[in-house]
Structure 1
Amino acid sequence: MSIESVCQYLARWGRDKDIIVMEESTATVALAAAALGVIPARIAKSISLRVEKDGVPAAMVVVTAGDVKLDNRKYKDRFDLKAKMLSPGEALEYTGHAVGGVCPFALPPGVEVYLDVSLQRFQTVYPACGSGNSAIELTMDELKEYSASLDWVDVCAPIGA
């Protein structure tokens, strides 16, 4: 059902027909890169994190390049809280998307989206579209607009660093 909500959401920009649905899984960076024929770094990975708003559990989505990981120190310095990943059940409950298809589109009200600067080195990237076998190619300006991102942040480090 999630991909349908993303299709409806992206239709407001006429981009619903640009969603790529594949036979194979795109649920991980490696699988998505192989299915799309791009380097893993160009996969826009959506990380769903637990936050609190007025004492109530909520979610935040940070979209990063596929070749980086969340840097706990940078995240804490930026958001003044410890990074806590949502469980698969929480991800579905709070974002409306299952793990493997979490994306920055068609999110429930109150879910904040931030884009990591690791994405800015690319002309286009491929975020998921609400399922474990979908993606769309977007420019940075399109990703910022369509995700209703609040800001560009620097909260990641290279994998292995």
Structure 2
Amino acid sequence: MSIEKARAWLKKYDADSRIVEFPVSSATVELAAEAVGCEPARIAKTLSFRTNDGVILIVAAGDAKINNPKYKARFGCKARMLAFEEVEPEIGHAVGGVCPFGVNEGVTVFLDESLRRFETVFPACGSSNSAIELTIPELEKYSGFKAWVDICKGWREE
């Protein structure tokens, strides 16, 4: 089960005990915000894409949307999200619980600038009813991210 992969990954940082499992779904930004009790923007959603170099994850604020021209300028290809049935085999977590913890070998994680405006954010932890509250430095450390990117719109004045 994917929450166990995330839990094992976070255990390396003594953060596994901070995972919260909800009695309700947290599979969407809105449901997660309701379960956690925060504004939707503080949900750190993890989106999965296929690039010319392989599969990547973009962790972005809940109110941010991919800006296609910025994405193409950064990654050299059109933004192509993985199909529903590709997500779990490619990433290691199913849709609704995709997170940057305990992902499959070869998956590269990027963090979007939209997250930096918050002290803490809430990414999922491998299941459709889990989350963990992390500071931005913790998210950087625990996700093993490659780089910060600025590829989203809708969260600030453009």
TM-score interval w.r.t. the shorter chain?
Answer: over 0.9
Q: Find the counterpart in structure 2 of residue 131 from structure 1.
A: 127
Q: Find the counterpart in structure 1 of residue 71 from structure 2.
A: 75
Q: Find the counterpart in structure 2 of residue 102 from structure 1.
A: 98
Q: CA deviation at 1:87?
A: 0.9
Q: Secondary structure at the match of 1:6?
A: helix
Q: Which amino acid in 2 is paired with 1:72?
A: N
Q: In the TM superposition, what whole-angstrom CA distance separates every residue of 1:55-93 from its partner, at most 9, and x where no partner exists?
A: xxx310000000010110000011111100101111111
Q: Which amino acid in 1 is paired with 2:13?
A: W
Q: Which amino acid in 2 is paired with 1:157?
A: K
Residues 49, 56 of structure 2: 8 Å contact kept:
yes
Q: Distance in 1 between matches of 2:71 and 2:26?
A: 26
* Gap runs ≥5 in structure 1: none
Q: Distance in 2 between matches of 1:157 and 1:52?
A: 23
Q: Distance in 2 between matches of 1:46 and 1:5?
A: 16
Residues 99, 123 of structure 2: 8 Å contact kept:
yes
* Gap runs ≥5 in structure 2: none
Q: Distance in 2 between matches of 1:61 and 1:130?
A: 14
Q: How does 1:36-115 map to 2 (within 5 A)?
A: 36-53=36-53, 58-115=54-111
Pair 1:118-2:114 in alignment: yes
Structure 1: 4+ residue segments shifted above 4 A = none
Q: CA deviation at 1:52?
A: 3.4
Once the two structures are aligned, what percentage of the paired residues are identical? 52
Q: CA RMSD in A?
A: 1.1
Q: Distance in 2 between matches of 1:20 and 1:69?
A: 26
Task: With the length of structure 2 as denominator, give the TM-score of the two structures.
Answer: 0.96
Q: Which amino acid in 2 is paired with 1:76?
A: K
- Aligned residue pairs total 156
Q: Find the counterpart in structure 2 of residue 144 from structure 1.
A: 140
Q: Secondary structure at the match of 1:48?
A: strand
Task: With the length of structure 1 as denominator, give the TM-score of the two structures.
Answer: 0.94
Residues 110, 146 of structure 2: 8 Å contact kept:
yes
Q: Secondary structure at the match of 1:113?
A: strand
Pair 1:3-2:3 in alignment: yes
Q: Distance in 2 between matches of 1:37 and 1:141?
A: 22
Q: Distance in 1 between matches of 2:11 and 2:101?
A: 11
